[in-house]
Each structure stands twice: as structure tokens, then as C-alpha cells.
Amino acid sequence: MLSIATLFVCLASSTIDAQRGPDPEGQPTMLREGALASYWIWHDADGYHLRTTTAHDRRNFSGHIEFSGGNGWARAYQLRQNDEVKLTNQGIAFHLATERDLNGFDFRMDYGTQATLSLQLDDDKGSKVIEHVFLGQNNAHPISNPFTIYGQ
């Protein structure tokens, strides 16, 4: 009976993890300024971090983060002159024109809050973008775009 209960807990846990997607914990190990055009998103003791970088030409990263079940805030990180990160009633809207450098923003959200990230790279959105998104220390791609992360 105990082994059946243990198996149920393990299966339930793995099902929840599969529904939530890749773990965003820890800075991506492949993150570096000048990498191919990419989003880098991770969580650590300071909250969540979103960074963008490109290898060569200027690329436009944009999107929004919608909070549900709580509140959040954002703080810019090395923004360029025409970059924009603003809080809205629903979350955060941003546009980052990145060229060979590393820029982005940090954000936090209340425990239990869900944040749905909708990301765009130049004119691409949806499933094309996910190959340019790296989550957590395992450099994993989200399952879809948009995708959800959870306040911790």
C-alpha cells in the first residue's frame, strides 16, 4: 500500500512538472553577451530575470508578461535609448532593440502568482520564437509561446 502511495505521489509530481514546462531555476549556463539572438529567462534569490542578446545585427525583442492571481514589479537592466519596459494594469510590456550587448529587466511577483509570457523576436511570434528562448540553468526551451511561470 505504501509503495502504491509513493508511486502516485511521484507520478502526480512528474505530471505537474510536465504541465508547468521546464524549470526556470538558476542562471542559464550558456548565457553570454553576443550569443545568437536569444531570450534568457531564469529565477534565483533576487527574483526573475529576462535578458536579450544578439551576435551581430540589431534585433527587436518585444512582448508582455501578464500576471494573474497577484502582483509584480519590474526593474530595467542596461536598457538602450529606445528600449522600453513599462508596468501595465495586467503586468509588463516591453520592447528591447538589442545589438551585440546584453540588456533586459528583472521582475518579481507575489508568491502563488502566475505570469504568462508572450514573446516576439522581430516579426516572429508563436512557435518559431521558442527555439530562441532559454529557461533556467538547463538552457531549456518552453513548450509553447505564450508560456507560464509561477511566483516562488
Q: Is the peptide bond before 28 cis (omega within 30 degrees of 0)?
A: no
User: How far is residue 18's CA from residue 14's CA, in Å, rounded to a whole number?
Assistant: 6
Strand partners, 77: 104
Number of structural domains the chain divides into: 1
Tell me whether residue 13 is in a domain: no
Tell me whether residue 76 is in a domain: yes
CATH number at residue 118: 2.60.40
pLDDT digits (tens, 9 = 90+) for 11-27: 333 333 445 568 999 99
Tell me whether residue 12 is in a domain: no
Range ranked top by mean pLDDT from 9-13, 72-76, 135-139, 148-152: 135-139
Tell me whether residue 16 is in a domain: no
Tell me whether residue 17 is in a domain: no
To the question of pTM greater than 0.75 for the whole model, the response is yes
Tell me whether residue 112 is in a domain: yes
Tell me whether residue 44 is in a domain: yes
Do residues 77 and 85 touch, judged by C-beta distance below 8 A? no
Tell me whether residue 54 is in a domain: yes
